[in-house]
Amino acid sequence: MNIRSLALKNILIDENTAEQYLDLTAPSFEYGGEMGLKALHYVTSDQAGRIDLISNQYFGSGANIDAICILNNISNPFSVEEGDILIIPNLTRNEDSVYFRPKIATSPNKIQAQYIDTDRQSKKDQSRIERLAAKGKDKKSGVTTPLPPNVLQVGQVSKKIGGGKIVLGANIPTRD
């Protein structure tokens, strides 16, 4: 099946493996409310999970499945059920203006890279982490590698089940 917005996606190449893949992060379809609606469609039992049939009914092919999905906030086209009402976009005159090839992604410049690179830390942050690691080694319930509060250490569990009870926060050490 030739889905139009997928056909417009840029092909990226992994520099390490030379493997090719589609850049699914960049949008290739944009629809404005000023373009209006073609119809409101009531999904029948034979069309449940088959947006391709609905696209074929209104556009003559399944190439506009993505337009129907995007306009109706559908991430899984197979989740459409009988009785759902779908907005059908008006693409008769505007099809070329709503589908476009996205700009090719570029690598961040030096200034942007320092905010994206999470391994880079200020000297103040580095010394803070070193202090926390040293402090953690001295305590019975301490850790060797400080992690953010929402990340479990190796071997920790977030809950324990036993004796007919669920204990949440089982990973939180208690002070003796």
Please give the C-alpha separations between residue 2 and each of 5, 6, 11, 52, 152, in angstroms, as whole numbers.
9, 8, 16, 11, 44
Q: Residue 39 and residue 72: Cα distance in Å, rounded?
A: 13
Helix (H) or strand (E) holding 160: strand 159-162
Going from N- to C-terminal start, the domains of the chain cover 4-98, 110-168
| pTM for the full predicted model | 0.52
Q: Residue 6 and residue 22: Cα distance in Å, rounded?
A: 8
* One pLDDT digit (tens) per residue for the chain, 176 residues: 567 777 788 888 877 788 888 877 777 778 877 778 889 999 999 999 999 999 999 988 888 888 898 889 898 888 999 999 999 988 866 666 788 887 776 666 665 565 555 566 667 777 777 787 777 777 776 666 666 666 666 666 667 777 777 777 666 666 54
